[in-house]
Structure 1
Amino acid sequence: MILNLIGLRCPEPIMVIRKTIRNIKKNEKILVLSDDPATKRDIPNFCYFMEHQLLKHEITIKPYRFLLKKGL
């Protein structure tokens, strides 16, 4: 699943990710695209605190890309 969050600003990207991740099954993956600099910090923190996995991220060029795997 690809989640295009380009144009959204903090806190909207995390709110959309949280809502989306609730509606998928455990171990499913989401590719998140974002251009908000705050997501470079917010998405890894979200994954850590919500016990999801950040499998891969590319934050050197926009759009930033984050590959998340749903945990608990």
Structure 2
Amino acid sequence: MVDTMLDVQGLACPLPVLKANKVMRGLAPGARLVVLATDPAAARDFPAYCAETGHVLVSAEETTGVWRFTLRKREASA
């Protein structure tokens, strides 16, 4: 499965999470979204977003001011 990419560099809170949420709604259960963000608040916003929605935060890495978050969409509820 190919990961979907979302580049929200330069956008400030809450736009990175709002745009990621919009993309996640269109993905199939289990699909992955990779988000690139530069807003320092994203480091706490994406874990909180995943905890609230049931999506999985697979990884979060920061390199030279750019955060790379990998999220996996929650499985479909029964």
Query: Structure 2-normalised TM-score?
Result: 0.87
CA displacement, residues 4-38 of structure 1 (integer Å, 9 cap, x when unaligned): 00011001111101111000100000110000000
Question: Is there any run of 5+ residues in structure 1 with no aligned partner, and where?
Answer: none
Q: 1:57 is matched with which residue: 60, 65, 74?
A: 60
Question: Is there any run of 5+ residues in structure 2 with no aligned partner, and where?
Answer: none
Q: 1:29 is matched with which residue: 28, 32, 38?
A: 32
Query: Structure 1-normalised TM-score?
Result: 0.94
Structure-2 separation of matches of 1:49 and 1:7: 24
Structure-2 separation of matches of 1:60 and 1:19: 25
Runs of 4+ that moved beyond 4 A: none
Larger-gyration structure (1/2):
2
Structure-1 separation of matches of 2:41 and 2:61: 14
Q: 1:7 is matched with which residue: 10, 19, 22?
A: 10
Q: How many residues were matched structurally?
A: 72
1:42 paired residue number: 45
